[in-house]
Amino acid sequence: ETYRADGYLVMESLFDTEEITGVQETIQSITRKAFATGDWESVMEMEPECEKDRPVARRIYNPFHQDPAFRKLATDRRVLDCITDLIGADIALHHSKLNMKPPHVGSASQTFWHSPIERDDAHEDLHVSCWSQFVLFSRHQNSPPSCC
């Protein structure tokens, strides 16, 4: 109901703290390994600014190929149950990319280029948990943007 009305769905506590910590550690490990080999540009994209004099990953390319933890996360029954409830069971994964918005670096405006929709359409009262996302309420009920 919420998805059909608002165009988004929040699943609170879908993963526990231990699972999230494990994924965060995996991201840190991939970042360290990529820098150690000197081939980080084929593995990830970095934020233009550092945090505490350390580089920060913005995007990991093909995370399923980088570590099995990402495939495990995406194919977890809890995730798949949510997806199939929304769109049905005929789903396939054809590409993986992990986009991140780390705290204290970058800005929310950096994500706006993904959307041709003007900022005026954004809801003004975003909850703090949504600050790293550009949420457009009920946008799924409108026709696609003219660029599509």
Tell me the average confidence (pLDDT) per consecutive run of 10 residues in the chain, 148 residues long.
80 90 93 90 88 84 92 92 89 87 64 41 43 49 48
For the question of whether the overall pTM of this predicted structure is more than 0.85, the answer is: no
Task: Tell me how crowded residue 41 is: count the other CB atoms within 10 A of its CB.
Answer: 10
Q: Is the dihedral of CA 121, 125, 130, 131 positive or negative?
A: positive
